[in-house]
Amino acid sequence: MENSSWLSQVKRGLLELCILNLLDNEAMYGYQLVKHLTSIPGFVTTEGTIYPLLSRLKLEGLVVITFEESPYGPVRKKYQLSEEGKNKRKEINHMWKEVSNSVNTITKLK
């Protein structure tokens, strides 16, 4: 597997973690999430990746969607964490800390 493919898979796997953490801070539009994530160096994502993930999170009951009128066009969807989503975020953050600590330990052994 080439390096760019490996890195792409890692980022895709961490995207849910990042979105849950961003939505814990405030409710956001999908476009806001894309802009925020792409503003982080090395973390490139697209709307085509974010919106299907948001739909899945909604189906799983982790996010709640509210609709807001827009003076510039159609009604906009705003995403926020549900209580279940807040619990899932805490759980995933805990798992991430354990995994990242383990990987850091192993990579320091070289």
Pairing of β 28-29 and β 63-70: unpaired
pLDDT tens-digit readout, 46-60:
888 899 999 999 999
pLDDT tens-digit readout, 50-90:
999 999 999 999 999 999 998 888 899 999 999 999 999 99
Domain count, the chain: 1
User: For residue 79, what is the domain's CATH number?
Assistant: 1.10.10.10
DSSP label at residue 109:
T
5 pLDDT exceeds 60? Answer: yes
Q: Which of 100, 57, 101 has its CA nearest to residue 82?
A: 57
Domain residues for the domain of 22 are 3-108
